[in-house]
Amino acid sequence: MDTKIGSIDTCKPTNSDMCSPANGAVSTIQNSVSPAVINSTESTLGRHLARRLVQIGITDVFSVPGDFNLTLLDHLIAEPGLNLIGCCNELNAGYAADGYARCRGVGACVVTFTVGGLSVLNAIAGACSENLPVICIVGGPNSNDYGTNRILHHTIGLPDFSQELRCFQTVTCFQAVVNNLEDAHELIDTAISTALKESKPVYLSISCNLPAIPHPTFSRDPVPFSLSPRLSNKLGLEAAVEAAADFLNKAVKPVLVGGPKLRVAQACDSFVELADASGYALAVMPSAKGLVPEFHPHFIGTYWGAVSTAFCAEIVESADAYLFAGPIFNDYSSVGYSLLLKKEKAIIVQPDRVVIANGPAFGCIRMKDFLLSLAKRIKANTTAYENYRRIFVPEGHPLKSEPKEPLRVNVLFQHIQKLLSSETAVIAETGDSWFNCQKLKLPRGCG
């Protein structure tokens, strides 16, 4: 079966600060037009939800049909701007929506009640940890079944419909159970807008009997969202930049290290601009691979403690100042908390906070604003990169395999490296493949 996911390869961020979620790829600000009045028979919850998804930039929805979501799926299929992609199971649908959100800025999946919701839960938890706005839509019980003490199929055999909701409460930033048309419009819009604002997944349960029922609140096309932008505290930003510039300009061999939160902060380009202006040696943490261009002239590899790219750890850990942008220091990224870093040498920049060494911390500062402002105040210093070039030894080529010799890992990855281009992307599972994939050099355009 040929399945086409609409325009993923051609989608570029719109860079609209007013409304863009994680990577700026979705714009919900549109030209100011009066929403059209629609036929009363079409003024349904299902149509409204479908139009909202299209409006925020979603063209593909990943789904697994079930008897609780069939009517809703009919309305999504009827929307010309949506392509419904059936998946083999709910976990696949959730991970597909996760990947879609990474590329397009926001994703959506549709599953059925409890048996589907609990199955997709692991993918939604992953989206939560990765700060991805994924809208998880569940076809819920008939609104007439609430409060009846009835036991439904697809449940654990108890007349309690809240088990699924309780599970999602810890891995989503907003949960809505739509079992009444009177507040359905408000709950749907709040769920979707919250996902965009918080860059986190949301849970939206819609009773199976409601999508096709007309209601006056859906009598017009939805008005485009206009979400308030997050702004830096100007005084705090100036103070943080001044302190950071003073700290870095005094250093002899400072370095830059990019972390995974660069994406949610929409700061990848700003980080590269700082690297261009500073001339510092540039590295990435393992979970940030692909967020920073590896063809940058001062790129030195993946910083991962004892298992870093060759010669990268020596440069980072011997630096007298390092700026980490969007890091996550967990047991995995720190190789069992064994990194040879010192707090008094570090500037830690998080999406809305800057901490300089053991000293001052500055809140309410957007990473993007901070990096751009710092780039204008920093003095160029290429010492760390020059040191790297002095000790760098090019990687050798694997020995040629003998006929019928078992395939060696280094030979396998040499072949994988040759497959990479601007038209490809690497998906690596955590474990040995993740470690070996860190050694791959991503060409321009390869994610």
Q: Residue 320 burial by CB count (10 A; 0-12/13-18/19+): exposed, middle or buried? A: middle
Question: What are 61's strand-pairing partners?
Answer: 84
| Range from 126-140, 348-362, 403-417 carrying the lowest mean pLDDT | 403-417
**3-state class (DSSP) for residue 144:** helix
**3-state class (DSSP) for residue 300:** strand
Q: For the segment 226-237, what is each residue's pLDDT rounded down to a tens digit?
A: 788 889 999 999
End-to-end CA distance of the chain: 26
Q: Which of 442, 439, 440, 434 is nearest to 335 (CA)?
A: 434
The arithmetic mean of pLDDT across residues 149-156, rounded, is 81
pLDDT at 261 over 70: yes
The pLDDT of residue 1 is 43
pLDDT at 2 over 80: no
pLDDT at 281 over 80: yes
- Count CA within 13 A, CB hemisphere, residue 447: 9
Residue 64 in contact with residue 87, Cβ under 8 Å?
yes
Question: What are 257's strand-pairing partners?
Answer: 283, 324
Question: What are 353's strand-pairing partners?
Answer: 350, 363
**Confidence band, pLDDT 50/70/90 cuts, at residue 332:** confident
CA dist 251 → 125, 183, 244, 303 (Å): 41, 58, 11, 20
The pLDDT of residue 410 is 86
- Read off the amino acid at residue 185: H
Q: Phi first, then psi: what are they for 135, rounded to 5°?
A: -95, 110
- Count CA within 13 A, CB hemisphere, residue 38: 18
Return the CA Rg of the chain.
Answer: 25
Average pLDDT, the chain: 89
Q: Please tell me the distance from the alpha carbon of residue 318 to that of residue 313, in angstroms, as a whole number.
A: 8
The arithmetic mean of pLDDT across residues 332-354, rounded, is 94
CA dihedral defined by 326, 328, 329, 333, rounded to 10 degrees? -110
Q: For the segment 57-116, what is each residue's pLDDT rounded down to a tens digit?
A: 999 999 999 999 999 999 999 999 999 999 999 999 999 999 999 989 999 999 999 999
The pLDDT of residue 268 is 96
